[in-house]
Amino acid sequence: MKPESSYDTYRSKLAKIADLGFAGAVLGWDQQVYMPKNGARARGRQLATLSTLGHEMFTDGGFGSLLDRLESSAELNSEQRINVALTRKDFERKKKYPDAFVEKMSLVTSEAFGAWHEARTKKDFSIFKPLLEQIVQLKREETRLLGYTHHPYEALLEDYEPGLTVAKIDEVFDRVRKELFPYIRQILSRPQPDHSFLMKHYPKAKQWTFSEKMVRQMGYDFDSGRADDAPHPFCTTFGPGDVRITLRSDEHEFTMMLFAAIHEAGHGLYELGLPLEEHYGLPLGSALSLAFHESQSRFWENNIARSLPYWKANYPVLQQEFPENLASVPLDAFYRGVNRIEPSFIRVEADELTYHAHIYIRYLIEKALIEGSIEVADVPRVWNDRYEEFLGIRPSNDSEGCLQDIHWSYGSFGYFPTYSFGSFYAAQLAAAMKKQISGFDGLVEQGNLAPILEWLRTKVHSKGRSLNSEELLIQTTGKGLDVGDFMDYAKSKYGSIYGL
């Protein structure tokens, strides 16, 4: 068989596996957006079937032999070699999972979503606890199946940020504890900006009218996506030209929908910018990592949409939408209000600085659960104690405490650290952009975000998985991860806001 036709066979196989994965994404999206409660059990079985079929197709011996032939071929071009090498890495990892394990995990997590949603609604962790116990046991088993060198949690990190270690996370968060947390305490010692105008009545439909304008301004294409309500905001991809976002809102908390829309549209822009059509189902058509994915959403949400130049462009439009609430609020007061730093219980609504305490707490709990130093029954107590330790507040119920995030119901252990790393990547990318894009702040002030999106398309999105995170940071910014860029950004911005 000629190398070209072998590669065609390889592409065709991965395209079929991608079809199954995207079909599962459609079912998963519907599960959160439209599916009636009583459909949960059947939906769990359907998702488990698709997951198992995809796993069986990817890990069968014939596919391994095909990869062997391709790796020994001298006729593949550089892109083809990258695809094959990354697929080999994925193949070696995934073949460690027995089919029965994949099916069990899918069934349990599908059931767990419904239990989590009910528990969150009723503010009762005990409803979710039995399913979470099953998930934690499965995740511990997963670390044994995969193997690890230093800490079992690292086996799970590999799915979200390849190469990231517990030692590296601890090193980064040690700096956060020593530099960021004391700076937050300095900020909290200063008079707080007024933000009462954000808590007035903002009708949901009018909130979306403005939010839609803002995500269109970013470049999100509604011919290639849509937005719907869900209990937890997320972004999902069904294939080339179909990237969905979901939001949630509160008619007495204006920023909830807006920043959720901008955040999720940031994820959507990354997905729409990947060379997925050219490399359908292949590594080069896939996102680099969850941390880099998060860098895109955090960049748009914080470095752009919480900046003063952004609101110079857009605040007059917002005032026209809500004159009764904002006509008498000056631009500077609004800017300070949307950047108020204040400890809070809900991660997705947290300001951009205390946000990292939320992530650190989740990381500590996840690591402890996986290593077995705490059990699921301990989670509410440990969660509440950590919030009191790091943020000086204690949740009054499980919904504003350990039930607020959806991730554990999906079995997504190892995900949370990518949120902080994504923020640090975003600050580093923003610092590089300001040097490389002439008149950066002026463009934002004019509402002209197209050059910024083009920079990201060229330097980040189009790369797929061709580089790892450290390599891409070096290529785009001239250095590997440097938390100093985030700290410089934080101190410059909030020093001005709070007079520090």
* DSSP summary character for residue 193: P
* DSSP summary character for residue 239: E
Strands 242-247 and 235-239, how do they pair?
antiparallel
CA–CA separation, 458 vs 475, rounded Å?
12
Token readout for 325 is: 């609430």
Amino acid identity, position 459 = K
Say if CB 225 and CB 272 are below 8 A apart. yes
Say if CB 420 and CB 366 are below 8 A apart. no
Identify the residue whose tokens are 């070209």: 4
Token readout for 490 is: 């934080």
Token readout for 178 is: 């020593």
What strand order describes the sheet that includes 242-247?
225-229, 242-247, 235-239
What element of type H or E holds 459?
helix 450-459
Given 264, 271, 301, 366, the catalytic residue = 264
SS3 category, 225: strand
Backbone angles phi, psi at 236, to 5 degrees: -145, 150
- Could you confirm whether 278 is annotated as catalytic? no
Question: Following DSSP, what letter does each residue of 94-115 receive, concatenated?
Answer: HTTS-HHHHHHHHHHHHHHHHH
Say if CB 55 and CB 97 are below 8 A apart. yes
Beta strands in 203-260 (DSSP E): 225-229, 235-239, 242-247
Among 406, 202, 426, which Cα is nearest to 300's?
Answer: 426
Alpha-carbon distances of 240 from 20, 23, 244, 275, 473, rounded to whole Å: 14, 13, 11, 9, 26
CA–CA separation, 70 vs 7, rounded Å?
7
Token readout for 462 is: 């189009």
Active-site positions read 264
